[in-house]
Amino acid sequence: MGGLLAGKRVLVTGVLMESSIAFHTARLAQREGAEAVLTGYGRMGLVERVAARLPDPAPVLELDVRDPAHLADLVPRVRELLGADARLDGAVHSIAFAPPDALGGGFLNTPWESVATALEVSAYSLRSLAHAVLPLMRERGGALVGLDFDSRIAWPAYDWMGVAKAALESTSRYVAREVGAHRVRCNLVAAGPVRTTAARSIPGFDLFREVWEERAPLGWDVRDPEPAARAVTALLSDWFPKTTGEIVHVDGGVHAVGG
């Protein structure tokens, strides 16, 4: 099969719903010739049902990025699925979480325990994933791509998730520096708001929708995850061989214009 990702194998994390950017990335990756392995955490029955809706039903692994045992076992579990000599050509980081008290407008009242959870799951996990998959990539190189939301300004109600996204952006640059010697790239896609399961947990999500409807020069549809998924797929390909530590904005242009 031809395509941008012909013959490649990619790991896509955080697949929970068919509406997610992660699901559409897996779909497009398959369409472009890749073999995909999905990961989820917690509601694995749901993840398996979603995986079955891909053009080619994909195998699923449970991965808790806060569990050292899960991370340490990732290489043998991937090889059990794909073969003893299997390697990965790409991995997608689509993992973020903040406890309810870290969102919604109580920024100054959020306890450290909740902040720590948001930072560990949403930012440090990129380092954890990179460290876990590097043995599967280091022979021929590959690509790590994470999903981001522009953190240059303080958004209403986004609170500590905004801080976590800023930490994710910095983490991506440091990961890029560390894995570059193995010909592995690390980039982020800063997507505009998409009405996903994660988005529904953000108080005031409609505020984001209104901003994008008013300001996006190219327009923006919160129901359409495909533009962001296309960017992720492109960054997984060989068409960006010397791009790393970068943030690609797929937001209709909102990041570039004033109010």
**What is the DSSP annotation of 180-236?**
GGGTEEEEEEEEPP---HHHHTSTTHHHHHHHHHHH-TT---TT--HHHHHHHHHHH
The confidence score (pLDDT) of residue 85 equals 82
Torsion of CA 58, 17, 167, 212, to 10 degrees: 130
| pLDDT single digits (tens) 154-188 | 988 899 999 999 999 999 999 999 999 999 999 99
| pLDDT single digits (tens) 201-227 | 676 677 788 888 899 999 999 999 999
In which domain, by residue range, is 160 found?
A: 9-253
Q: Which residues are within 8 A (CB) of 259 and not within 5 positions of it... i.e. 6 or more apart?
A: 215
Give the separation between CA 128 and CA 237, rounded to whole angstroms.
22
Q: Residue 208 domain-assigned?
A: yes
Q: Residue 3 domain-assigned?
A: no
Residues in the chain where the model's pLDDT stays below 50: none
DSSP H/E element including 93: strand 90-93
The confidence score (pLDDT) of residue 200 equals 64
The confidence score (pLDDT) of residue 126 equals 98
Among candidate residues 94, 102, 123, the one with its CA nearest the CA of residue 203: 102
Which residue in the block uniquely carries the two structure tokens 């009242």?
109
> What integer best gives the mean pLDDT of the chain?
93
φ and ψ at 219, to 5 degrees? Answer: 80, 165
Among candidate residues 56, 20, 64, the one with its CA nearest the CA of residue 37: 56
Q: Which residues pair with 184 in a beta bridge?
A: 142
Which residue in the block uniquely carries the two structure tokens 């995909």?
36
Q: Which residues are within 8 A (CB) of 180 and not within 5 positions of it... i.e. 6 or more apart?
A: 244
Q: Residue 2 domain-assigned?
A: no
Q: Residue 75 domain-assigned?
A: yes
Q: How many domains does the chain have?
A: 1
Domain at 174, CATH number: 3.40.50.720
The pair of structure tokens assigned to 168 is 């994710």
Give the separation between CA 23 and CA 150, rounded to whole angstroms.
21
Among candidate residues 102, 119, 18, 141, the one with its CA nearest the CA of residue 65: 119
CB 114 within 8 A of CB 160: yes
Prediction pTM value: 0.95
**What is the DSSP annotation of 94-105?**
------GGGSSS
CB 188 within 8 A of CB 145: yes
Exposed/middle/buried for residue 242 (C-beta within 10 Å: 0-12, 13-18, 19+): exposed
Give the separation between CA 204 and CA 206, rounded to whole angstroms.
5
Q: What percent of the chain has pLDDT over 90?
A: 82
Alpha helices (runs of H) in the chain, residue ranges in sequence order = 21-31, 44-51, 68-72, 74-82, 112-119, 125-137, 159-179, 197-200, 205-215, 226-236
Q: Residue 1 domain-assigned?
A: no
